[in-house]
């Protein structure tokens, strides 16, 4: 008869929903800059590139608004 082998592990199914963006630190961006609308600091990187290469798009979890952060501003 045949040998009893254990089944090979199966990769988990892909995660559904909004993909998790890479941390801003990977791109030299701040982790959570202040929101341009409410000044809140509970922000997260939405996209390392916004409407232009010189901006990054962040999402504010306080006022639930997307805002753009200029990469080459006075802070640099």
Tens digits of residue pLDDT in 59-73: 999 999 999 999 876
Tracing tokens 């922000």 back to the chain, one arrives at: 43
What DSSP state is assigned to residue 56?
E
Ramachandran angles phi, psi of 56, nearest 5°: -120, 150
- Asked if 37 and 67 touch (Cβ cutoff 8 Å), the reply is yes
pTM for the structure as a whole = 0.65
Q: Which of 41, 45, 36 is nearest to 67 (CA)?
A: 36
Tens digits of residue pLDDT in 33-65: 999 999 999 999 999 988 888 999 999 999 999
- Asked if 45 and 21 touch (Cβ cutoff 8 Å), the reply is yes
Is 11 a residue whose pLDDT tops 60? Answer: yes
pLDDT at 7: 75
pLDDT at 62: 95
What DSSP state is assigned to residue 37?
T
């Amino acid at each position: 008869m045949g040998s009893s082998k254990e089944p090979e592990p199966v990769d988990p199914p892909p995660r559904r929903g909004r993909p998790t963006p890479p941390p801003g630190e990977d791109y030299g961006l701040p982790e959570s800059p202040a929101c341009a609308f409410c000044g809140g600091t509970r922000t997260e990187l939405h996209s390392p590139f916004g409407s232009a290469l010189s901006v990054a798009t962040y999402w504010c979890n306080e006022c639930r608004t997307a805002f753009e952060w200029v990469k080459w501003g006075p802070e640099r």
